[in-house]
Structure 1
Amino acid sequence: MEERLGVRLFHRSTRSITLTAEGALFLERCRRILGEIEAAEAELSGAAGSPRGRLRISTPQLSGLIMPALDGFMAQYPDIELDVDLSDRMADIIQEGFDAVIRTGEQHDSRLVSRRLGSCGQVLVGSAAYLERHGTPAHPSELAAHACLLHKFPATGKFERWPFRLGASEAQPELPQTFSANTIEVLAFLALQDKGLAFLPTFIVRDALSSGALRIVLSD
């Protein structure tokens, strides 16, 4: 090594061997390098056992569904910094730098890998007070006389269709556009305030149905 470096690292005698000034400097530098390697190994080993870093995600504006999951995630992974975008729009994962995006519906971007997280049913509901004042529709054709709270898809601006079981000769009823919004939590709130009928996911209205604040209509 001395020949390769071109300096003497040791003082040698028949009785002892000691470091030269250059040798002491070289030893100190080597110790620092080894220390950095050990620290890097320890850091990587710790990361493998306890995830850390920044995670940027986008989720729908469904606080009742998303927030309990985020609360549990933060408790389980306290070293991860969460950057959450609450939006129902169609996010560009690559351009906007998201690590993951949660959305409802089908995924059509071939550049992305998707995983199904679950599914839920939907029901048409109205408050007890609203139905007492305006009556309970017995057929989809009767919805023309009711206030309808409609969900509008953010990406397309189209209204979400209310699926009905109709006869072969029956046309899809045209719903009054009493109120429309691109987030369903607003529709759930207005339905609870006796403002009309809304077609909502069951997880949004489960408690209200149990308490009787909302009732299911046209369930057949």
Structure 2
Amino acid sequence: MDRFDEMRVFVRIVERRSFTQAADDLQIPRATVSNAIQSLEARLGVRLLERTTRQVSPTLDGEAYYQRCLRLLADMEEAEDSFRNKAPKGLLRVNLQGTLARSFVIPALPAFLALYPDIELHIGEGDRLVDLLREGVDCVLRAGLLQDSSMVGRRVATLEQITCASPAYLAEFGMPTKLDGLTTGHRAVNFVSSATGRALPLEFMLDGEMRTLTLASRVSVSGADAYAAAALAGLGLVQLPRYRVAADLAAGRLLQVLPQSPPPVLPVSVLYPQSRQLSARVRLFADWLQALFAQALPA
């Protein structure tokens, strides 16, 4: 194992906090991982890792060496990619927001894999915040504004949003015609943020400015599918991307409310750790996603 391979092993151990998980990620025996770290520490003459029965963590020297390894490995990969003129290859671990995955990304994956036969994808699904380094994930696809300052976001799409409700709800509470009318006699289905644990207010654009309203609610949810289902059940007003409810709108199962004051558009971004340079595989995947959304959501 050469020095760069030892660096890759060390970086993966720091990020996964585990020799075993690092070995699994790199698809090499655990003994090889242990030998690589022993060789590295012996050559440098410092202890890089603190080992306990529960986890592995870098020493102060190890943290400093980790940051240098990140830069060196990123520079080396970029240099090699620029000269070999070959398509990127290897394992790409991504985590996708569920409805975006099912509606756009997964149906188009056969075309992506045909274009890049040397890339293998491992896909996780969810709406929660993901610790990319600890969980060994290269990038995530999320809808919404970037909240975590440790992440870098590349916007790949914007989604039109609408406010809507079921005909049964509107028959009981009436069709609102002005924003001010919502605060008396109307209720919402609250969507609880996985980041803050608090319910998100409804957002409306009025005369070029955004207004937020918090309505009474008897039902709170924390998932996109449950949010849409609650609207269909007549439990209150919701705000969702138009693509998500297009079939329900066409069938009359949901009706748009206050189209003159729509919610702001929802950005969709590929996120990756600020501490890492954008790898060729992640860059390629982000480019492909941007083209995919541009085709699926024409302006």
Instruction: Note whether the superposition's TM-score is higher than 0.5.
Output: yes
Whether the 8 Å CA contact 2:182–2:215 is kept in 1: the answer is: no
> C-alpha distance in 1, partners of 2:167/2:110?
33
Cα deviation, residue 71, structure 1: 5.2
For CA contacts below 8 A with separation 6 or more, give which structure has more relative contact order.
2
> What are the within-5 Å matches in structure 2 for residues 93-104 of structure 1?
93-104=132-143
- 1:206 corresponding residue in structure 2: 246
| Residue in structure 2 matching 1:120, options 130, 146, 159 | 159
Q: Which of 112, 131, 138 in structure 2 is aligned with 1:92?
A: 131
User: Which of residues 107, 119, 123 in structure 1 aligns to 2:146?
Assistant: 107
TM-score, structure 1 normalization: 0.64
Q: Give distance in 1, aligned partners of 2:212 and 2:93.
A: 41
Alpha-carbon distance change, 212 to 72 in structure 1, aligned in 2, over 3 angstroms: farther
- C-alpha distance in structure 1 between counterparts of 2:168 and 2:147, whole Å: 42
8 Å contact 1:166–1:172 — kept in the other structure?
no
Q: Report the equivalent of 1:53.
A: 90
Structure with higher helix content:
2
C-alpha separation in 2, matches of 1:216 and 1:66: 26
The size of the alignment, in residue pairs, is: 172
> What is the CA–CA distance in structure 2 between the aligned matches of 1:165 and 1:111, rounded to whole Å?
29
User: Paired residue for 1:134, among 173, 197, 200?
Assistant: 173
- In structure 1, what residue type is equivalent to 2:237? L
Identity of aligned residues (%): 33
TM-score (norm 2): 0.49
Match of 1:151 in 2: 191
Q: In the alignment, what sits opposite 2:268?
A: none
Specify which of 209, 222, 230 is matched with residue 190 of structure 1.
230
Q: CA deviation at 1:173?
A: 4.6
Asked if the contact 1:59–1:103 (Cα under 8 Å) also holds between the matched residues in 2, the reply is yes
SS at match of 1:57: strand
C-alpha separation between the residues in 2 aligned to 1:163 and 1:109? 21
Q: CA deviation at 1:111?
A: 5.1
Q: Secondary structure of the residue that 1:58 maps to in structure 2? A: strand
Give the aligned CA root-mean-square deviation in angstroms: 3.1
Higher-Rg structure is: 1
Higher strand proportion, which one? 2
1:80: Cα distance to partner? 3.5
Does 99-108 or 74-83 show the bigger shift? 74-83
